[in-house]
Structure 1
């Protein structure tokens, strides 16, 4: 990739600019695919070369990866409509690409609803998937036409009746160890309470969370949802037509296994529901592998065979997912040695040393890596962290003057014979 192909273009958050960029890029183009490792490294080197005096951390968002992940979803779960969980990563360009690829959106707050609507997405493509919403947020949802929400308590019914009486509901049922959802003995009272409040319960939702290790739990969850569908009919209430199978998906073989289980369970339990609408709330699945985080080495210490490095972001910044999310599956960590090894920036074949990596804050809990094998690196070299798209930019703290909201995101994708890239400052 020639650095001359990188336009000096900084994008804001204006949805019209987003639409123009993506129509030019051809985000739906079938030839668009993931960057190879060589393309990614060349792209990162071009970014660094363009701004040699700027050592700030930055993200690379691979739009080709986003498209490939959406293609995988549509191939494995063609009957399930994805509502991306915005809380995982609210990057506006990322949201725009998902919207143009056909995803709808799961929002958990007024701010998330506003962010999605600002991109030109219609309100009927949003579900307010938070079982405990403030009255102010419900009032806002009513004002903009977001008319589908989840609930799991009678107190939520009271709020919705007061602030958003035209809202349709999904009864969230508890499955697994999640804190959210109605217990089996609460289902009938909650259905009756919503009916008495003249709020239509149009379906059932569940969320298994990201700790799913055995895909057969989807069978049990779908079976439980079918029991609620049948209970509604027995109570003489209007027939349900929507099933929300939640999120918790991760890319790779685990997703394929989960999809196979879901594709078996849905016709087994819901084969007689001809008009059933099936939705889901994937977050990590789309966000995690689409982003790479690149950070500069700002300090070094050598103690015998141990190498210690300090980088300019860490666990209280854009790597807070590693601190707070027990299911964080951060990908590979590799060097980009533009300072110490410009002819071999990937350090291929070089001797490695036991290394510790610290974040920049003056805090004893800022250790990122221990006993990790890295080549000999110097100040102003870089470390590349893949798989950093989920709960990274969205959950970082403003601590010790580190501001994750100021981290620049560069957009790239690979087309067969026609590489392309853009730059975005969020």
Structure 2
């Protein structure tokens, strides 16, 4: 579906261009692939209509400041099609959409209606997702180093899933969010990535056993392992090694 936005905000033109479109829960579609293909066929015409409507609606001789600003047209249907592609190929894995990728409200509402989870790295992102009506259980606070004030906020909002990669974080979680569902973020080889996040986050494999032991001592709930091979990753083998390391961490936890 086509959307029009100015200054990264969805505008009323969207409703005018897509008057027959309503976001439905994924369960409402008996054959997601068929709907996806139908949307893909209609996309070019809808994008063209959206562009034409917006451009024709601007009078450069009389418009208000800002009405001539740059804008973008997005195919929201592509988000839907990618989601259905994920469900078809990885049916046992619930995707968690990283808000920092594109926090457009329409994208969040669509993914929320489709049952996706959300990866939030800040209080602002958590607030934005909660405002769409998404349950706190579908949010993971993917920030390994959180301030105490933000931990108090997540506890109040009942957001339990979160990542960690150090001992200090475990003590803070024990104090403020003892019911948290924790994911140990491990260090990865992201040397082939454009943005190397391992320079900031991730526990080395030499420290994972110590962190697991402390979590057990503090009676905290370790729910799983998290990793990030960097933004713009170009080496698929980085994922392979990260999954192997995650398996090692699971084995370490079993042996405790």
Question: Do both share a fold (TM > 0.5)?
Answer: yes
Does residue 127 of the first structure (1) align with residue 140 of the second (2)? Answer: yes
Q: Which residue of 1 aligns with 2:6?
A: none
Does residue 44 of the first structure (1) align with residue 51 of the second (2)? Answer: yes
Does residue 25 of the first structure (1) align with residue 46 of the second (2)? Answer: no
Q: Which residue of 2 aligns with 1:233?
A: 254
Does residue 175 of the first structure (1) align with residue 188 of the second (2)? Answer: yes
Q: Which residue of 2 aligns with 1:56?
A: 69
Q: CA deviation at 1:51?
A: 2.6
Match of 1:193 among 189, 214, 220: 214
Deviations 1:322-368 (A, max 9, x none): xxxxxxxxxxxxxxxxxxxxxxxxxxxxxxxxxxxxxxxxxxxxxxx
Between the aligned partners of 1:228 and 1:47, the Cα distance in structure 2 is 53
Between the aligned partners of 1:182 and 1:73, the Cα distance in structure 2 is 29
Determine if contact 1:33/1:67 at 8 Å carries over to the other structure: no
TM-score, scaled relative to structure 1: 0.48
Determine if contact 1:32/1:67 at 8 Å carries over to the other structure: no
Structure with higher Rg: it is 1
Q: Which residue of 1 aligns with 2:114?
A: 101
Between the aligned partners of 1:115 and 1:22, the Cα distance in structure 2 is 25
Q: CA deviation at 1:36?
A: 4.3
**5 Å matches for 1:221-370?**
221-235=242-256
Determine if contact 2:43/2:75 at 8 Å carries over to the other structure: no
Deviations 1:57-101 (A, max 9, x none): 222232211111112212222222101011122111210011112
Q: Which residue of 2 aligns with 1:74?
A: 87
Between the aligned partners of 1:109 and 1:103, the Cα distance in structure 2 is 18
Q: Which residue of 2 aligns with 1:110?
A: 123
Q: 1:159 to 1:142 in 2, by over 3 A?
A: same
Does residue 204 of the first structure (1) align with residue 222 of the second (2)? Answer: no
Q: CA deviation at 1:125?
A: 0.5
Match of 2:171 among 153, 158, 162: 158
Which structure features the higher share of helix residues? 2
Describe the SS at the equivalent of 2:97: strand
Q: Which residue of 1 aligns with 2:7?
A: none
Determine if contact 2:139/2:161 at 8 Å carries over to the other structure: yes
Q: CA deviation at 1:47?
A: 1.1
**5 Å matches for 1:377-396?**
none
Determine if contact 1:35/1:62 at 8 Å carries over to the other structure: no
Q: 1:155 to 1:35 in 2, by over 3 A?
A: farther
Determine if contact 2:186/2:204 at 8 Å carries over to the other structure: yes
Greater relative CO, 1 or 2 (CA 8 Å, sep 6+): 1
Determine if contact 2:162/2:182 at 8 Å carries over to the other structure: yes
Between the aligned partners of 1:157 and 1:166, the Cα distance in structure 2 is 12
Determine if contact 2:144/2:169 at 8 Å carries over to the other structure: yes
Q: CA deviation at 1:38?
A: 5.3
Q: CA deviation at 1:188?
A: 1.0
Deviations 1:11-53 (A, max 9, x none): 9xxxxx9xxx999524566233365445423420221112333
Q: Which residue of 1 aligns with 2:195?
A: none
Determine if contact 2:23/2:110 at 8 Å carries over to the other structure: no
Determine if contact 1:109/1:128 at 8 Å carries over to the other structure: yes
Q: Which runs of 5+ in 1 are unaligned?
A: 1-8, 12-16, 236-426
Between the aligned partners of 2:58 and 2:186, the Cα distance in structure 1 is 51
Q: Which residue of 2 aligns with 1:218?
A: 239
Q: Which residue of 2 aligns with 1:374?
A: none
Q: 1:143 to 1:65 in 2, by over 3 A?
A: same
Between the aligned partners of 2:59 and 2:176, the Cα distance in structure 1 is 53
Match of 2:105 among 92, 95, 114: 92
